[in-house]
Structure 1
Amino acid sequence: MRKYVIVGVQGSGKGTQSLLLARDLDLVHISVGDVFRWHVQNRTKLGALVRRTMAAGELVGDDLAERVVRERLDQHDWNHGFVIDGFPRNRRQAEFFLESYDIDGVIHLDLPDAEVRRRVLARRLCSGCGLDYNLIAHRPEREGRCDVCGGELVSREDDSEEVLAERLRLHHEKTDPVLELFRGKEFVVTVDARAGVDQVQQAIRERLGLPPHRP
């Protein structure tokens, strides 16, 4: 069984790299952000709280984040292991995670702030089916329209210059200490996330001693 945490600033490719690992190693990909977005899209009480928080560029509170993670991992559908992204985001969450779960490694995707801005501000989301696009790497065939359902492509509420600047500040303030904590107790590998998707995935595999990535 393999259990990994993947850490990186918004736009560093955590979701993409997690999915590649999960697919090839038969792991369950747990995206805490996707769980929160599901609640927002389905207009649950939790979703209303998350929406207000994200729109302000703030991070979801510790109690709520820990509850969501615990409930998800308590489903025990990860027979061969999991890779979790979007958690932990601060020292308290990291301490909670280390006390509650054994993990085999922490993957740190390192990305400069300037590249984060370039990537994040190019992201689009289909207002109909929710499919993700990126105007740099994954452009739609018809400008502004989803290739699958024809829905309008829109920016996420938290993908604006002002909100991004605040999220970057919070990331460095809150998440950087998480890596220091993990480095003292867990195996941390840092990978340059500026390269292409396949190159980053291969670097992750090499650092963790895993079978090579085959695109």
Structure 2
Amino acid sequence: MRKYVVVGIPGSGKSTQSTMLARDFDLVRISTGDIFRWHVRHHTKIGARVRRVMTAGQLVGDVLVETIMRDRLDEHDWNYGFVIDGFPRNRRQAEFFLESYDLDAVIYLDIPDSQVRHRVLSRRLCERCGVDYSLIESRPEQEDVCDVCADSLVTREDDTPEALTARLFDYHKDIDVVLELLGRKAGVFVIDASRDQGTVHAEILSRLGLPSPPSPGGSAGMAEQGR
């Protein structure tokens, strides 16, 4: 069983790399961002709270994040392990996680803020089916139209310059202590995430001692670069 956490600045490629790991090694991918966006799309009470926070460029409160993660991990559907994307984000969340769960490795995607801004402001989202696109790496076949369901693509509510500035501030304030705490239980592997997604994925596999995926071009075709 493999248990990984992928951490990094917004736009570093956490979603892309965690999705690749989950696909290649039969892991369950758990993303707090995906869970919250599901609630927003389905107009739940949680979704209404999250929408207000995301629009302001703030992070969802610790109590709600911890509740969501506890409920998700308690489903125990991860027979071969899990890869977590977007959690923990601060000291409290890291301590909460380490109280109950083991960990094999932490993958830290390191990338300059300037490149992050370029990536994040180029992201687009299909609100109907939840597919992410990047105008840099994975453009839709028809401009502003989802390849999957043909609905219109939009900019995520938290992908504005103002919201991104606030998120970057919170990230830099907390990341060192998160890595220090997680590093007490598992190795922390620092990966240069400024390169293309295939190169980044190959280095992650090498650093973790994992075999390359059996299918040809296993890391190509992902539509979620820079999340």
TM-score range, shorter chain: over 0.9
Name the counterpart of 1:96. 96
Q: How does 1:88-127 map to 2 (within 5 A)?
A: 88-127=88-127
With a CA cutoff of 8 Å and minimum separation of 6, indicate the structure with the bigger relative contact order.
2
Q: How does 1:95-174 map to 2 (within 5 A)?
A: 95-174=95-174
Runs of 4+ in 1 over 6 A off after TM superposition: none
- 1:190 and 2:173 are equivalent in the alignment: no
- Using the TM superposition, give the Cα deviation of residue 126 of structure 1 relative to its aligned residue in structure 2, in angstroms: 2.0
- Using the TM superposition, give the Cα deviation of residue 212 of structure 1 relative to its aligned residue in structure 2, in angstroms: 2.4
- TM-score under structure 2 normalisation? 0.91
The percentage of aligned residue pairs carrying the same residue is 62
Query: More displaced, 89-98 or 144-153?
Result: 144-153
Deviations 1:75-98 (A, max 9, x none): 010011000111100011001111
- TM-score under structure 1 normalisation? 0.96
2-structure distance, mates of 1:176, 1:49: 28
Gap regions ≥5 residues in structure 2: 219-227
- Using the TM superposition, give the Cα deviation of residue 176 of structure 1 relative to its aligned residue in structure 2, in angstroms: 2.8
- 1:180 and 2:180 are equivalent in the alignment: yes
2-structure distance, mates of 1:67, 1:97: 11
- Using the TM superposition, give the Cα deviation of residue 129 of structure 1 relative to its aligned residue in structure 2, in angstroms: 2.9
Paired residues of 1:37 and 1:47 also in contact (CA < 8 A): yes
Letter in structure 2 aligned against 1:40: V
Gap regions ≥5 residues in structure 1: none
- 1:205 and 2:201 are equivalent in the alignment: no
Paired residues of 1:201 and 1:213 also in contact (CA < 8 A): no
- Using the TM superposition, give the Cα deviation of residue 213 of structure 1 relative to its aligned residue in structure 2, in angstroms: 4.3
Aligned to 1:109, the other structure's residue is in SS state strand
Deviations 1:16-72 (A, max 9, x none): 111111111111111111011111111111111111111111111111111100000
Paired residues of 2:17 and 2:201 also in contact (CA < 8 A): yes
Name the counterpart of 2:81. 81
2-structure distance, mates of 1:157, 1:36: 13
